[in-house]
Amino acid sequence: MSRVSIIIPTLNEASCLGRTLRQLTLLDPPAWEVLVVDGGSEDETVVTAKRNFKLFSPATEVQVRSCAKRGRSVQMNYGASLATGEILCFLHADTLVPDDLVAVIEETLADKTVACGGFISVMAGAQRTHWGISLVNYLKTYCFPLLFKPQLFFQGLRLLVGDQVMFCRRSDFWECGGFDEALPIMEDGDLCLRLLPKGQIRMVNRIVQSSDRRVARWGTLKAIAIYVYIGILWGIGVDANYLKQFYQDIR
């Protein structure tokens, strides 16, 4: 059985981190370790992490670390540098995972032709489930690589994003250079491209639940337009620094 290290980058995530961590205490089999890498939160994120760490069994090593530099890519790379598991799993603080997460990850990467995997992300909140946006996000995993990078699509490229809980082997992650810390957005799609020589990028037929806070702020139609627009621009090679203006942080 492989050891799975779960890395959670945080920045002012006190409102949702506790629920995510409590869900991780239910994993069967348990994760090898859970690392919360904070980027300088000004709320109770760190306190929330430490309080919920008490709920984990001794089988899972848990720790919260502060990253000297803020940024999701930077924080995830820092967490990966601390991780001791053979497999790295990158989890957003507002995403809930199935109880058999570790088993699904191990089964997927047992196939040596697979370099990286992720789940189907269903976007939901307290009031509703956003099936339309969830469908759009599902389709773009396949459609954007097929439309804009067809030669790579048929080699196994899929466009995974952070909400889909990406995972890969630690050795492959570092051999391809980890996340590009210069990218303010689409660092996940960039990682998929660089991992492809190691094997296929696969979306497994299981779901995770992601927060709808962006949709709640933007509205459904605007959210769909932004997601599609960013995906198209990524596909044609537009600079990530330009794309960032359409995808501001929302807490």
Domains identified in the chain and CATH numbers: 4-246 (3.90.550.10)
Q: What is the pLDDT of residue 198?
A: 98
Q: Tell me the pLDDT of the chain averaged across its residues.
A: 94
230 phi and psi angles, rounded to 5 deg: -65, -40
Cα atoms in the 13 Å half-sphere on the side-chain side of 182: 2
Q: Could you give the CA distance from residue 9 to residue 12 in angstroms, rounded to a whole number?
A: 10
pLDDT of residue 111: 97
Other C-beta atoms lying within 10 Å of the C-beta of residue 127: 7
For the chain, residues with pLDDT lower than 70 are 248, 250-251
Q: What pLDDT is recorded for position 86?
A: 98
What pLDDT score does 36 carry? 98
Per-residue pLDDT, 103? 98
**Per-residue pLDDT at 251:** 62
* pLDDT tens readout for residues 165-186: 999 999 999 999 999 999 999 9
pLDDT tens sequence across 78-115: 999 999 999 999 999 999 999 999 999 999 999 999 99
Q: Which structure tokens are listed for 184?
A: 């303010």
**The tokens of 97 are what?**
């995972």
Would you state the pLDDT for residue 250?
A: 64
